[in-house]
Structure 1
Amino acid sequence: MASIFTKIIEREIPAHIVAEDDNYLAFLDINPLVEGHTLVIPKKEVDYIFDLDDDTLAGLHLFAKKVAAGIEEVIDCERIGVTVMGLEVPHAHVHLIPMQTMDDMNFANMKLSPSKEEMAETAKKISKAIK
Structure 2
Amino acid sequence: MEPSIFTKIVNGDIPAYKIAEDDRYLAFLDVFPTTKGHTLVIPKQQIDYIFDLNDELYLGLMAFAKKVAAAVEKAVPCLRVGVAVVGLEVPHAHIHLIPLNSMGDMNFANKQQFSKEEFEEVQKKIQAEL
TM-score range, shorter chain: over 0.9
Structure 1 partner of 2:113: 113
Distance (whole Å) between structure 2 residues aligned to residue 49 and residue 100 of structure 1: 26
Deviations 1:56-102 (CA, angstroms, capped at 9, x unpaired)? 00000000000000000010000000000241210000000000111
Q: Does the residue aligned with 1:15 lie in a helix, a strand or coil? A: coil
Alignment partner, residue 22 of structure 1: 23
Determine the C-alpha separation between the residues in 2 that align with 1:86 and 1:101: 23
Deviations 1:26-73 (A, max 9, x none): 000001100000000000110000000000000000000000000000
| 1:3 matched residue in structure 2 | 4
The AA in structure 2 aligned to 1:17 is K
> Alignment partner of 1:67: what SS?
helix
Tell me, yes or no, if structure 1 residue 129 matches structure 2 residue 126. no
Letter of the aligned partner of 1:57 in structure 2? Y
Structure 1 segments (4+ residues) deviating >2 Å: none
CA distance in 1, matches of 2:11, 2:121: 22
Other structure's SS at 2:40 match: strand
Question: Structure 1 CA distance, aligned partners of 2:100 and 2:15?
Answer: 26
SS in 2 for 1:2: coil
Higher mean C-alpha displacement, 86-95 vs 60-69 = 86-95
Gaps of 5+ in 2: none
Partner of 1:61, secondary structure, is helix
> Residue 70 in 1 paired to residue 84 in 2?
no
Match of 1:94 in 2: 95
Residue 32 of structure 1 corresponds to: 33
Residue 107 of structure 1: CA displacement?
A: 1.2
Please state whether the residue corresponding to 2:124 is helix, strand or coil: helix
Per the normalisation by structure 1, the TM-score is 0.96
CA root-mean-square deviation: 0.8
Question: What TM-score, normalized by structure 2, do the two folds share?
Answer: 0.97
Identity %: 60
Which structure 2 residues correspond to residues 48-59 of structure 1 after superposition, within 5 A? Answer: 48-59=49-60
Name the SS of the counterpart of 1:50 in structure 2. Answer: helix
Distance 1:101 1:115 in 2: 23
